[in-house]
A and B are shown apart, each in its own frame.
Chain A
Amino acid sequence: MTLTRTLMATSALTLAAGMVTAQDMVNDMTLVSWGGAYQASQHNAYVEPYLAMNDGVSAVWDESSAEAVTKLRAMSEAGNITWDVVDVVAADAMRLCDEGLAMEIDFDTMLAPAPDGTPATEDFGDLLVNECFIPQIVYSTTFGYRTDLIDQPTSVCDIFDLEGFPGQRALEKRPIGNMEWALICDGVAIEDVYDELETEEGVARAFAKLDTIKDSVVWWSAGAETPQLLADGEVVIGSTYNGRLFSAIEEQGQPIGMLWDWQMFDIDGWIIPADLPEDRLNRALDFIYFATDTQRLADQAKYISYGPARASSAPLVGDHAELGIEMAPHMPTDPANAVNTFLFNYNWWASYRDDLDAQFQAWLLQ
């Protein structure tokens, strides 16, 4: 009850603020996202409620997130930015922020605090990875396995155990993730992994570990491949995005189980383009304040199996809107699942991806 009251108060406040400065706020927004189920979850969880609360405001979706960086660059060069709020992955946010194409956010004033009053910076915690990026959801790259073909694996290192878990494995055809898992399973502590990978010996060590299973690996390059490979029995265990595994398990009823150990987190969130005119900026900020509050992020989990970026949202995660199943166990961020995790270190990979990818390809060719 207190929660609802606070929420209503907040909305009323925003509404009041909106009325006072009505002159300074445009009534239409262009939101940019990825299309598909993910965009639908955003639409249901926060865009529709926002429009319902704000009479006369309309929102248009542009499904251009995949080209957000290039398009924003072009728009900025042309001096005509048509987007108001843009959904991007953290790595792209970093680039846009570095290049001054995204606006810097003052998290504690521009974002809602948690219902208990915790300021936004604390509520988002580590996920605030740069000054421009407002996280929404956490997804992860993790493993699914055939429950009927192999024993239940308990550690990501079971990937490297061909005797205990015989059969083919599916891994992504790129070094990111694989190198980390290889080193972790070779006994490197997570905090030392990237230092190790900066050395030739460390890279060699990771490849040596991967060598032990190289002949049993099917390399994928599209996220949809692993669920298919698992379903066909081509592989007994494989990495992919947790959302894909969720649909294979819950929507298609495949005999697949989740292995959450050492899942690699990645974050998706909003940025606001830099240098928006005052009236459009106000609308964008007003929307963001609402769309990233604790309840809204928790609501999104009803529609898609990605974890809310706020710590305060986790307890509020309910049941799936259509399937009616409890969503918490499917959240990468659920405490039970998030025992061992690491965050996709795009900062480090930005420097070393090119180089390591070349070595990775050369290793594949050997």
Chain B
Amino acid sequence: MAHAETDAQGRILAADGTPLKQSLQRALRAQKMRALLLIAPLLLFVVITFVMPIGDMLLRSVQNKAGTHYVPDLIPNVAEQIEDWDPASGELPPEEVFRAMVVDLQVAFDEKNHTQLGRRFNYESPGMDSLFRTSGRRVSGLDLETDGPFREALIDINDDWGDLEYWATIKANSGYYTNSFFLAAVDMERDSTGIAQKDPDQRIYRKLLVRTLWLSAVITFCTLLLGYPVAWLLADLPARKANLLLILVLLPFWTSLLVRTSSWKILLQQEGVINDFWVWLGFVERLSLINNQLGVVIAMTHILLPFMILPLYSVMKTIPPSYLRAAKSLGATNWTAFWRVYFPQTTAGIGAGGLLVFILAVGYFITPELVGGADGTFISNRIYFQFSAIGNWGLAAALGTIMLVVVLVLYYVYDRLVGIDNVKLG
């Protein structure tokens, strides 16, 4: 090779005199552009189906919206006037605030937005939904010139307008952004004195979060316990038999989740097959196997098992049998050979399967809903409930965001402990 020229700074020069690094970059840029063009459709797909919804969720968890509008856009006058009022004073807001409410409500009623407002405030203080709904028509009948003072007029329409807590709620939630969804998601609330824990009989989300993570971990462990030997057997068999068994492993995917879950119900219930067998064996007490946490663990372990087996199998398949033989020839017993030589090489599969099963389990809600009974529901059930039955997208988004963060944190911890490079999905 011809010896390379260097410039004054000691950088290596290409044949045309430009620094080598620069011309290398230029050459690579065209390549990169072409590669980018090729992946553009995928990139677009990922952005549209993944990044945007998550971004939307993050936004929604802090946006203070009633329906499609920001709250302060629906009650601009109230938002401005109520700033100077201090709920801690123990006094109702001044007349200007009541008047502003009448002005804003009249506009909102005309545009049919007042019930959305009511629903938004109802998330914070129950009862405001019906307050706004029932007041709408009569407030719109008030004449701004002649019907004052409006404090009395509103209280006359519905005496809940004289409730200080309701006004405090309006004041606290009249900005464009709010942390109230996140507060609610961790069982806290803002009352007239500041941020505080909710009453013990209303705290559910933290409990559910802990339970969801705990049960998911148990389920992950159970899938590992059951899936490991199966994957090993599969990896050890000749390809033809392994493929057949793999199809059996995947068989559950061919029936709907609902059907599988219902079959578990029939199997495990008090009058079910397993209990009948139990009683036939001579036991008196029937077992509670379903409609509790145990039922959730059993049904979900079954449903998620393939997600553990497949990554394990794909990793085990790449481990030649000669390692175990080598270990034994070196004097290791079967157990030592497995534990010291085989098992460490499958950690990548365990990591992948474990992460996969755990993350899937954390997000499950159909199975816990159907077989969870009173104490086996997951936080996802609540997210779904808030989303579909209550329509509180803000709280659903806040809960979703917390779940996302928790999963990311676990992922980070996992990366720290095991190293994510050691995860092999196939």
Q: Which residues of A contact B (CB under 8 A)?
A: 77, 95, 98-101, 168, 173, 198, 214, 217-219, 221-222, 229, 232-234, 347-348, 350-359, 361-365
Contact = CB atoms under 8 A, between A and B. Distances in A.
Given A198-B127, A355-B202, A361-B208, 17 more contacts: A95-B115, A99-B112, A100-B112, A232-B271, A234-B270, A234-B271, A350-B122, A351-B127, A351-B129, A351-B130, A353-B389, A354-B390, A359-B202, A362-B202, A362-B203, A364-B375, A365-B375
A162 B270 CA distance: 18
Contacts, number: 88
Contacts of A353: 389-390
Interface residues of B, number: 41
16 contacts: A98-B112, A98-B133, A99-B113, A218-B373, A232-B269, A232-B271, A347-B130, A347-B133, A348-B130, A350-B119, A350-B129, A350-B130, A351-B122, A351-B129, A363-B201, A365-B204
A173 B272 CA distance: 22
The binding surface of chain A is classed by DSSP as helix
B46 to A, nearest CB: 25
Contacts of B112: 98-101
Contacts of A219: 291, 373-374
Given A219-B373, A354-B126, A98 B385 contact: no
Given A359-B201, A361-B204, A361-B377, A221 B271 contact: no
A352 B270 contact: no
A356 B204 CA distance: 12
A214 B373 CA distance: 11
B266 interface: yes
A80 to B, nearest CB: 17
B382 interface: yes
Nearest to B184: A358
Contacts of A217: 374
Across the A-B interface, the 5 shortest Cβ-Cβ residue pairs: A100-B112, A98-B115, A355-B126, A351-B129, A364-B374
A248 B68 CA distance: 44
B271 A233 contact: yes
A165 B128 CA distance: 41
Given A99-B115, A234-B270, A352 B203 contact: no
Contacts of A232: 266, 269, 271-272
Given A99-B112, A347-B130, A358-B204, A168 B270 contact: yes
Contact of A358 (B116, B122, B202, B269): B202
B122 A354 contact: yes
Interface string B248-267: 00000000000000000010
Given A232-B266, A354-B392, A365 B370 contact: no
A365 B385 CA distance: 17
Contacts of A100: 111-112
Contacts of A77: 68
Contacts of A234: 269-271
Contacts of B200: 362
Nearest to B126: A355
A365 B207 contact: yes
A99 B133 CA distance: 10
A47 B116 CA distance: 35
Contact of B127 (A98, A233, A352, A361): A352
Contacts of B68: 77
Interface in B255-294: 266, 269-272, 291
Nearest to A363: B201
A93 B11 CA distance: 76
Interface string B284-322: 000000010000000000000000000000000000000
B5 to A, nearest CB: 66
Interface in B112-166: 112-116, 119, 122-123, 126-130, 133
A61 B393 CA distance: 30
